[in-house]
Amino acid sequence: MAASTLSYLLLIPLLMVVAYAGNLDQEFDITWGDGRAKMLNNGELLTLSLDKASGSGFQSKNEYLFGKIDMQLKLVPGNSAGTVTAYYLSSKGTTWDEIDYEFLGNLSGDPYILHTNVFSQGKGNREQQFYLWFDPTADFHTYSITWNPQRIIFSVDGTPIREFKNSESMGVPFPKSQPMRIYSSLWNADDWATRGGLVKTDWTKAPFTASYRNFNADACIWSNGASSCGSGSGSSSTSSSWLSQELDTTAQERLRWVQKNYMIYNYCTDAKRFPQGFPPECRTS
């Protein structure tokens, strides 16, 4: 798997493209919401809003095929029950790939649920859910996706919370050939988001607003059928270390700490859902 993908990347001259903070207006297009999404402070801040009539959303101008993607988010404060803030990478088509963060709102004083999922070849059902060890509405926090041919790592403020390894040797498709854009949206999902739909959105609290800043993409941009990455220049730059990144001992300990103390759902332990046996990738997670 990895060898074939990397050998393809080696054919393309090295050009690591890094999008630095402060360029949200250069990196993203607002795609829906009829004015509810706003670029502020000369593109340093992007906000999405939701009211009873509509939510809002944006997408990246670029498509990516592998990279380390960082974004700082500050979530809807107060009573956010029924709302979902989605931030994810996705390709197009019926056999799409997708790497998801979804933040499920809750009643004031109750914790947000961070919902993660990985789709490959149109198949998802790989949910892991977490509480966070801080209030994600009080300040900005960094939510990262590291995506390389060997693994996908979800991290919060530099702490890994989930690792999805390439298990193609077990017959599990892995996202490695379809370029993906970044998407984000704030929308009403009170039919399922909070306590399975029991708690509805309180529209007297609208508009609900989520904020974004400090985007950084150390990534391979896909354009006109070619990637901007490769190692034809013999690069040993630390900027491309994510291409072979794995979790070291310290990171593995942090991952175990999060999963022991803050994970509230793991599809790989849901025996009722998989009476015929767990998916094969669960053996490596």
Q: Is the dihedral angle over the CA atoms 168, 121, 118, 244 positive or is it negative?
A: positive
**106-117 b/e (C-beta count within 10 Å ≥ 16 → b):** beeeebbbbbbb
Longest CA pairwise span in the chain (Å): 58
CB-based contact 104:84 (threshold 8 Å): yes
Tokens linked to 260: 């022991």
The answer to whether 246 is a known catalytic residue is no
Q: Using CA atoms, how far apart are residues 118 and 166, in angstroms rounded to an integer?
A: 11
The catalytic position among 102, 127, 168, 253 is 102
Contacts of 175 (CB under 8 A, 6+ apart): 91, 97, 98, 99, 118, 119, 120, 147, 152
Please spell the DSSP secondary structure of 76-132, one letter per residue. PPS--TTEEEEEEEE--STT--EEEEEEE--STTSPPEEEEEEEBTTB----EEE--
Residue 214, phi-psi category: left (phi > 0), alpha (psi -120 to 50), beta (remainder): left
Residue 82, Cα to own-chain centre: how many angstroms?
20
Contacts of 26 (CB under 8 A, 6+ apart): 19, 43, 61
The catalytic position among 27, 44, 63, 98 is 98
The answer to whether 163 is a known catalytic residue is no
Tokens linked to 19: 């999008």
Give how far Cα 91 sits from Cα of 82, 113, 131, Å.
26, 25, 28
Active site residues: 98, 102
